[in-house]
Amino acid sequence: MKKTLAIVAISLMLTGAAFAQVKIQVGCTATSDCASAMVAVDEGIFKKHGLEVEMTPIGINSNIPAAILSNSIQIGGPTSTVFLQAVDGGLDLVAIAGASIMSPVTNGNISAFVRNGVTIKEPKDFVGKKVGAPGLNAFLHVLFVKWLVEKGVDPRSVNFVEVTFPTMSDIIKSGGVDAVLTGEPFVTRMLNAGLGSVGARYAAELARTEPIIFYAASREWADKNAVAIKKFRDAIAETAPIVNGDREKASASIAKFTKQPIELVKATPPNRSEPVLKPEQLGWWIEVMSSQKMLQSKLDTAKLVLK
């Protein structure tokens, strides 16, 4: 009898452990690119899939790989460029799910916003200017450099500095930089405040459809948490249609995480959520980054995305 009770007790303990929610910290910058994770938290979709997830704000995107490796977050939303450079530098990271992609609908949200007193009429006018980017070698920076090169402007003639999204308005107002590389709702917010004007909508001109941000983890953590990753992917796949089709819910979650006014967030659609990430989608980024001498090794795209 005692042996039977012991077996039942152990069975109950194991069953409880099997159904216990896995706690995960997801780190992202203050943009709409991780909207699928934001909505999954707010709408209880992660909990429905047996995960306990919290969103952690990260000031600069290029800090995300280090945060993952230090285990202060378990999953991060690095831009494609930050992820690739981190892996190229020897960090054992792996992409586990898609977050956002460039699209014709949302590429126009990205711009080089220029402060009052600075005139930008064509690409060469950026020569000699101080331009703030939310992460050097991150998505907006690399894309802008690609645009400059295509327009015949030497990127080395532009002085790039790091500026976080939340501080862009203040640094533009103070004249600390001549322009910032940013997106919505920050562009509209600065326009409404009369701080300057749009100098270039460079992403719209490049017209690409590659991934902007995807969810990544350390390979060690991914190997140990295969079940949790499967649940995470299922939750993100369930949430993506909400991000892409339900402006009310998506805007509410984005405004909550980014601390932006809900009216501004509603004014522009979030970057398109695409939960499926294929290795070949990173090929264009590798080509661009190699041309900018940002990569030292030959990366194998098949090894970069978790199967």
Q: Check whether residue 231 and residue 277 sit in a common domain.
A: yes
Residues spanned by the domain of 157: 107-206
Provide CB contacts within 8 A for 17, sequence distance 6+.
none
The answer to whether residue 210 scores a pLDDT higher than 90 is yes
Residue 151 lies in a domain: yes
Q: In this predicted structure, what is the pLDDT of residue 168?
A: 96
Q: Check whether residue 179 and residue 122 sit in a common domain.
A: yes
Q: In this predicted structure, what is the pLDDT of residue 81?
A: 93
Cβ atoms of 193 and 170 within 8 Å: the answer is: no
The CB density around residue 142, as the number of other CB atoms within 10 Å, is 25
Q: Check whether residue 41 and residue 81 sit in a common domain.
A: yes
The answer to whether residue 13 scores a pLDDT higher than 80 is no
Distance CA 25, CA 72 (A): 8
Residue 155 lies in a domain: yes
Of 151, 174, 206, the domain-final residue: 206
Q: Check whether residue 244 and residue 166 sit in a common domain.
A: no
Q: In Å, what is the CA distance from 231 to each residue of 184, 225, 263?
A: 30, 10, 33
- Report the candidate in 105, 171, 74, 141 with the shortest Cα–Cα distance to residue 288: 141
Q: In Å, what is the CA distance from 102 to each residue of 149, 172, 259?
A: 20, 26, 23
Average pLDDT over residues 96-106: 94
Q: Check whether residue 68 and residue 132 sit in a common domain.
A: no
Longest dimension (CA), the chain: 86
Q: Check whether residue 179 and residue 121 sit in a common domain.
A: yes
149-195: pLDDT as tens digits: 999 999 999 999 999 999 999 999 999 999 999 998 899 999 999 99
Average pLDDT over residues 205-233: 96
Residue 12 lies in a domain: no
The helix/strand/coil state of 251 is helix
Q: Check whether residue 180 and residue 192 sit in a common domain.
A: yes
Q: In this predicted structure, what is the pLDDT of residue 264?
A: 85
Chain CA centroid to CA 171, Å:
22
Number of helical H runs and strand E runs in the chain: 14, 11
Domains: count for the chain: 2
Of 206, 222, 253, the domain-final residue: 206
CATH code (residue 63): 3.40.190.10
134-160: pLDDT as tens digits: 988 888 999 999 999 999 999 999 999
The answer to whether residue 16 scores a pLDDT higher than 90 is no
The first and second tokens of residue 297, run together, are 């090794």
Of 167, 186, 206, the domain-final residue: 206
69-82: pLDDT as tens digits: 999 999 999 999 99
Cis peptide before 65 (omega within 30 of 0): no
The answer to whether residue 132 scores a pLDDT higher than 80 is yes
Residue 4 lies in a domain: no
Q: Check whether residue 82 and residue 227 sit in a common domain.
A: yes
Q: Check whether residue 111 and residue 127 sit in a common domain.
A: yes
Residue 115 lies in a domain: yes
The CB density around residue 291, as the number of other CB atoms within 10 Å, is 12
Q: Check whether residue 202 and residue 214 sit in a common domain.
A: no
Provide CB contacts within 8 A for 30, sequence distance 6+.
57, 164, 165, 166, 257, 258, 259, 260
Residue 13 lies in a domain: no
Q: Check whether residue 128 and residue 65 sit in a common domain.
A: no
Q: Check whether residue 195 and residue 215 sit in a common domain.
A: no
HEC string of 44-111 equals CHHHHCCEEEEEEECCCHHHHHHHHHCCCCCEECCEHHHHHHHHHCCCCEEEEEEEEECCCCCHHHCE
Amino acid identity, position 301: T
